[in-house]
Amino acid sequence: MPLRSNFMDPGSSFFDLLRQSRSDLLPQMQIKLEGLSQAETRELKESPHGTTILALKYRDGAIIAGDRRATEGFQISSRRIEKVFKADDHSAIAIAGVAGPCIEMAKLFEVELTHYEKLEGMTLSLEGKANKLSQMVKANLPMAMQGLVVIPIFVGYDVKGGKGKIFKYDVTGGRYEETDYYATGSGGKDARSTMKRLYRAGLTEEEAIAVGLEALIDAAEEDVGTGGPDFVRGVFPTVKLAVMTGLQDVPEARIREVCQAIIDRRREVERGA
State the average pLDDT over residues 200-213.
97
Model confidence at 25, pLDDT cuts 50, 70, 90, reads: low
Which SS3 state, helix, strand or coil, does residue 86 take?
Answer: strand
What's the farthest any 2 CA atoms get from each other in the chain?
Answer: 85
Which are the contacts of 16, defined by CB distance < 8 A and separation ≥ 6?
A: 10
- Mean residue pLDDT of the chain comes to 85
Query: With contact defined as beta carbons under 8 Å apart, do 196 and 248 qualify?
Result: no
Q: How large a percentage of the chain has pLDDT more than 90?
A: 59
Amino acid at 73: G
CA distance 61 to 192: 19
Sign of CA dihedral 56, 59, 62, 66: negative
In this prediction the pTM is: 0.83
CA distance 134 to 169: 7
Q: How many CB atoms lie within 10 A of CB 76?
A: 13
Least confident of 29-43, 72-86, 136-150, 170-184: 29-43
Q: How large a percentage of the chain has pLDDT more than 70?
A: 79
Alpha-carbon distance values, 35 to 39, 41, 116 (Å) = 12, 9, 37
pLDDT of 9 over the 60 cut: no
Is 51 a catalytic site residue? yes
Among the listed residues 50, 151, 9, the one whose alpha carbon sits nearest the alpha carbon of residue 93: 151
Model confidence at 83, pLDDT cuts 50, 70, 90, reads: very high
Model confidence at 37, pLDDT cuts 50, 70, 90, reads: low
Model confidence at 119, pLDDT cuts 50, 70, 90, reads: confident
Q: What backbone phi and psi angles, to 5 degrees, belong to 77?
A: -90, -25
State the pLDDT at residue 257.
98
CA distance 179 to 166: 7
Query: With contact defined as beta carbons under 8 Å apart, do 248 and 240 qualify?
Result: yes
**pLDDT tens, residue by residue, 151-161:** 899 999 999 99
State the average pLDDT over residues 190-194.
97
Query: With contact defined as beta carbons under 8 Å apart, do 105 and 115 qualify?
Result: no
* Catalytically annotated residue among 41, 51, 52, 194: 51
State the pLDDT at residue 18.
61
State the pLDDT at residue 141.
80
State the pLDDT at residue 15.
61
**pLDDT tens, residue by residue, 225-243:** 899 999 999 999 999 999 9
The CA-to-CA distance between both ends of the chain, in Å, stands at 85
CA distance 115 to 255: 33
